[in-house]
Structure 1
Amino acid sequence: MTETMIAVIGGSGIYDIDGLDGAEWRRVDSPWGAPSDEILTGTLDGVKMAFLPRHGRGHVHSPSTVPYRANIDALKRLGATDVISVSACGSFREEYAPGHFVVVDQFIDRTFAREKSFFGTGCVAHVSVAHPTCPRLSEACLSAARDAGITIHQGGTYLAMEGPQFSTLAESRMYRDAWSCDVIGMTNMPEAKLAREAELCYASIAMVTDYDSWHPDHGAVDINDIIRTLTGNADKGREMVRRLPALLGAERAPCPHGCDRALDYAVLTAPEKRDPDLVARLDAVAGRVL
């Protein structure tokens, strides 16, 4: 059995977690640079918790400048076992209305200005992200949200765009009609890919703030409308998180879906050919197999 540590990466509007026992903001150093902020740690109902504001307190990082590798590495160094992404998104579906939540299970990655892997020249690895989220962890989030009275939809494809601008009307229509995406955001990639490389269970909860620009009755995305909806969503997000320790427990068995063993056959570079400097940086992420 493994000691559970639930790590929450909070997106726009969520900058802390209420009710943690022994709450403390901790600095965690990473060989991949500085994380977005210090990490709030503590316990909730006897379960270890960690919270990292993705954009930093005060929202200082744009989607493109979030230090994704440092964030995931820092959480792994702290002992995180389960990572839950909570982020704002636009909706491509009439039934996924502002104020609703979506349990994301697929991604289309359209980002282009970000480092997307811990591995590279000197230590090559390929992990599978055919199913990029953990079904066990996603189901726990679904149950927690429903218990909190949140309207939540099970399953959806998240279009990850670079940003920071919102979509053009043509892009919005293409993502919705031709690509069959359900929600759109700017931050879950490469975060989900990096979590898989770090052998962390990862779940993505998208909080709908708007209908993007495709909806004929809503016009262009208005940041003022988004901020109003964010306030309500943030409170709902905290209610969901408060119910997770009871569902996940203080200890857990190996992930039945293999998230915590993603690197078993992923590293291709022969041991004698590996770059020792890169291997040293991978101590937390891939130390189990290196």
Structure 2
Amino acid sequence: MAETDGTAPAMIGVIGGSGLYALEGLEEARWQAVETPWGAPSDEILTGRLGGVPVAFLPRHGRGHRLPPSDIPYRANIDALKRLGVTDILSVSACGSFREEMAPGDFVLADQFIDRTVARAKSFFGPGLVAHVSLAEPVCGRLRAALGAAAAPLELRVHPGGTYLAMEGPQFSTLAESRMYRESWGCDVIGMTNMPEAKLAREAELCYATVAMVTDYDSWHPDHGEVDIQAILATMHANVAKARALLAAVIPAMGAARAPCCHGCDRALEFALITAPEARDPALLARLDAVAGRVLGRGPGA
């Protein structure tokens, strides 16, 4: 319900990537199962409050890292968070770097994506209800700015923008691919999980921002050679502590109430539904009760 000043209750969703399987410091913390029309999410979701702000934490790969990138149930994950009342998503993930200055241990607040995944369901919509949302700016600038502001006093090495290349995996890049992404395509970092996650968040009218934690230089760097998984794991563990500090700072600063997104992320479906009402598939409409409830006038999103 909207407040008299135009704000509404906020709930911050955190999707934890490799190494980040729990969020410390939550009050009233409890793990809970969430059922979705798209199947089970990656794991139960840890809910609670951090600095008085409602939070829902979801380990992307499941606790213990059970799920490879291609088998993560992206649609179920986003639906489950929306169903719980999440309004904003902070995504945390490990990545490789194509830039000398984006060194292992640095964080990159990516603002663009190139999607090279091929084996994943990328939309909640389809036959029976066609929808087209804008992804020109796939990351919410408001959330990205909040992350940058929270990182400053922590003395983290944070890069305020960059293009994230999402690859299918689970193998790392060949040398030829790494050089192409870096030199011809102008990408800055590479990972396996932020797509279709960001696309689905936009379809669900959720503000989304990512914290890409650099673990390595992929395979292009002449002084580092091929990706070394042991080195990656060591850097990843150090990054997780820094990521927790960043989340502990940014979530209370965001507050428990929010105004409508100044970038329109929370209204992405306003004019996106193309299929005429009389031609819409009732079965698909029922599955969209949380994701598109606001524009369909049904379910928890209405």
**TM bucket by the smaller chain?**
over 0.9
1:217 aligned partner:
223
Query: Partner of 1:104: helix, strand, or coil?
Result: coil
Percent identical pairs in the alignment equals 70
Offset, 1:149: 1.9
| 1:40-82 residue CA offsets vs partner (Å, 9 max, x unmatched) | 0000111001100000000010000000000000000000011
Aligned match of 1:134: 140
C-alpha distance in structure 2 between counterparts of 1:245 and 1:187, whole Å: 22
2:208 aligned to 186, 199, 202, which one? 202
Secondary structure, counterpart of 1:284 in structure 2: coil
1:166 matched to 2:179? The reply is no
Q: Indicate whether 1:268 and 2:274 are aligned.
A: yes
- Tell me if structure 1 keeps the 8 A contact 2:50–2:252: no
Question: What residue ranges of structure 2 are gaps of 5+ in the alignment?
Answer: 1-6, 297-302
Check conservation: 2:111, 2:139, Cα contact below 8 A. Answer: yes
Q: TM-score, normalised by structure 1?
A: 0.99
Match of 1:115 among 104, 115, 121: 121
Aligned 8 A contact 2:12 2:56 in 1: yes
Greater mean deviation of Cα atoms: 243-252 or 203-212:
243-252
Q: Is 1:71 the equivalent of 2:84?
A: no
Q: For residue 289 of structure 1, give the secondary structure of its aligned residue in structure 2.
A: helix
Aligned position for 1:95:
101
1:247 and 1:139 map into 2 onto residues whose CA distance is 12
Secondary structure of the 2:69 match is coil
Shift of 1:150: 1.0
After TM superposition, the structure 1 = structure 2 runs for residues 1-290 of structure 1, keeping only pairs within 5 Å, are: 1-290=7-296
Deviation at residue 246 of structure 1 after TM alignment: 2.9
Gaps of 5+ in 1: none
Q: Distance in 2 between matches of 1:101 and 1:91?
A: 10
Distance in 2 (alpha carbons) for counterparts of 1:167 and 1:101: 21
Q: Which amino acid aligns with 1:45?
A: G
Write the distance in 1 (CA, Å) between the matches of 2:21 and 2:153. Answer: 22
How many Å apart are 1:193 and its aligned residue?
Answer: 0.2
Q: What is the count of residue pairs matched by the alignment?
A: 290
Q: Secondary structure at the match of 2:247?
A: helix
- Runs (4 or more) in structure 1 with deviation over 6 Å come to none
Match of 2:4 in 1: none
Cα distance per residue 1:69-111 (max 9 Å; x no partner): 0000000000001101100000000000000000000000000
Q: What do you get for the CA RMSD once the two structures are aligned?
A: 0.6
Contact 2:79 2:290 survives alignment (8 Å):
yes
**Separation in 1 of the partners of 2:145 and 2:118?**
31
1-structure distance, mates of 2:251, 2:224: 38
- Amino acid of the residue matched to residue 41 of structure 1? T
- CA deviation vs aligned residue, 1:207-261 (integer Å, no higher than 9, x gap): 0000000000000001100000010000000000001233211101000000000
Task: State TM-score, norm by structure 2.
Answer: 0.95
